[in-house]
Amino acid sequence: MESIITLKDIARSYTIGSEIVNALCSITLEINKNEYVALMGPSGSGKSTLMNILGCLDTPSSGTYVLNNKDVSRLCDNELAEIRNKEIGFVFQTFNLLPKSTALENVALPLIYAGMNKIERDERALKVLFDVGLSNRVDHKPNELSGGQRQRVAVARALVNNPSIILADEPTGNLDSKTSTEIMGLFEEIHEKGNTIIVVTHEEDIAMHAHRIIRLKDGYVESDKENKNIRRVRAIA
């Protein structure tokens, strides 16, 4: 299989007053294209720090991070922003939608930063909204949508740039159990189309939808195992 993410000896420390906090300690991981991975860990495990590094929101204190054959470990802020726009689709717990913009406008937003013209932006945004089952909600604003629909808009926005990876941070944290199941079914569909998905979660039942579960503890990888009891929303044809 072809690697999409390679982490080698990744460490991240912070200075708080006179104290040095080691959030990550020598993380070495490889994630292949089209893998579906859950990243788990209790508070203080380093899970959020690792997510920020994977999402190019932060850089490691030491070690190397290669994303889609490019070493992103030491890039400047502007270079990281460009990588985030092109290579990473984010899905957040709180949706992070612009309240005064329609679903179509929210989804098309990353394409503005990519320099695409309006006709092409709208065409691509419409396609991904159709793909996530929201073709009849394109002109609705977030306050006119249910929580599940808002998260589908967020997923569509994550997909619109054809990113190398989808990074989902507690994507069902603000949803009820029925809607959470629907969103995890949507991730199944996205994965089946060839996307690489990393879900960061503290919920065991959400992690069980992934094909591989990586658990962190005290800044180290505690375990990295194939999930042999995948929880599926849809039956395999």
How many angstroms separate the Cα of 98 from the Cα of each of 107, 109, 141?
10, 10, 8
Q: Is 191 helix (H, G, I), strand (E, B) or coil?
A: helix
Q: Which helix (H) or strand (E) holds 235?
A: none
DSSP-derived letter for residue 147 is H
CA distance 70 to 84: 13
Q: Looking at residue 235, what is its pLDDT?
A: 54
Question: Bridge-partner residues for 30, per DSSP?
Answer: 6
CA distance 61 to 11: 6
**Residue ranges of the chain whose pLDDT lies below 70:** 235-237
Q: Looking at residue 43, what is its pLDDT?
A: 86
Q: Looking at residue 1, what is its pLDDT?
A: 78
94 within 8 A of 153, measured Cβ to Cβ: no
Q: In CATH, what class is 3-226?
A: alpha beta
DSSP-derived letter for residue 18 is T
Q: Looking at residue 61, what is its pLDDT?
A: 95
16-42 per-position pLDDT tens digit: 888 898 999 999 999 999 999 999 998
CA distance 187 to 199: 10
At position 232, the amino acid (one-letter code) is: R
Pairing of strands 62-67, 196-200: unpaired
146 within 8 A of 171, measured Cβ to Cβ: no
Q: Looking at residue 17, what is its pLDDT?
A: 86
- What does pTM read for this prediction? 0.92
75-99 per-position pLDDT tens digit: 999 999 999 999 999 999 889 999 9
Q: Looking at residue 114, what is its pLDDT?
A: 81
